[in-house]
Amino acid sequence: MQGGEKDTIAMTLRVTSFASGSSGNALLIHTQDGALLVDCGLPQRRIERHLAHAGLHPSVLAGIVLTHEHGDHSLSAGALARRHKVPIITNRPTAEALGGAVSGADVRLMPVGSEIALGPFSLRSFPVPHDAAAPVGYSIRAAHWCVGIAIDLGSWDKDVLEGLRAADLVVIEANHDREKLRAAPYDWAVKQRIFSPRGHLDNVDAGALLAQLGADGRRRTAWLAHMSERANSPNIALTIIRNVLSLAAVGCIELHALPRNAPLVWESDRHMQQLELFY
């Protein structure tokens, strides 16, 4: 056995989605050597409960890493950071947009496109098109594993594709079905915002991105995130994206819809998604 393989076996990377969608987002990235949160868009007590279920006290977090300032991603970041003395990792425009919500917290600035080490993790951010101050996705590595995260983006480009390229687990927005969104009971201005290239990604565009990634034939898991309650459903998203992948002859990506309000876990050593755990 090569040394690298031993390292891979010794180091399990576990990713838990606590919740996903417009009512709140938070992902726990966890190894035996450390943990971090990506986004903290649930009430503080719920985050603390989820962490306790994972056997973690919030104070052990290496950081709370933010994708952008919208409340469904940042709700309790400041409170959790202040209470448990955990640093918030974000870029300057996002920190400025959050303003008083993160004052008194240890905010560490990470310029868009830069790479930092945080506990056992190596993080690189990349810009995503979304209507926030400086929204980003992340490529997060630990040992030989990589998680790529791009949630809340209206379209994708080379930066997004390259940012997700190395990921074994891709967390990608599949917000809406275009027809369902057209028919949904929202104001036209709201629909226009969601449809815009700086709004939210629809199923077909998410599928096209996964088809591009999957062209290399590498085995990956994809979590479909931030699904609209009224303008999408797990069945519709999975059916459309499977069709897009099948038309592109991509068969190496295992798809799962992220539950809106229940946790889902992925573990690197099994290289598969686990059963949904409700608690």
Please tell me the total number of residues recorded for the chain in this structure. Answer: 279
C-beta of 72 vs 177, nearer to Zn ion: 72
Q: What six digits make up the tokens of 220?
A: 């990956």
Least Å distance between CB 152 and Zn ion?
4
**Chain positions contacting Zn ion, by CB under 5 A:** 70, 72, 152
C-beta of 70 vs 256, nearer to Zn ion: 70
Q: List phi, psi (to 5°) of 155.
A: -160, 175
Least Å distance between CB 73 and Zn ion?
6
Least Å distance between CB 14 and Zn ion?
23
The answer to whether 144 and 8 have CB atoms below 8 angstroms apart is yes
User: Which of 163, 210, 165, 147 has the alpha carbon at shortest distance from 14?
Assistant: 147
C-beta of 165 vs 193, nearer to Zn ion: 193
Least Å distance between CB 159 and Zn ion?
17
Least Å distance between CB 117 and Zn ion?
27
C-beta of 18 vs 145, nearer to Zn ion: 18
Least Å distance between CB 192 and Zn ion?
15
Q: What six digits make up the tokens of 269?
A: 């050593």
C-beta of 78 vs 154, nearer to Zn ion: 154
Sort strands 136-142 and 107-109 into parallel, antiparallel or unpaired: unpaired
Least Å distance between CB 68 and Zn ion?
6
C-beta of 70 vs 260, nearer to Zn ion: 70
C-beta of 171 vs 245, nearer to Zn ion: 171
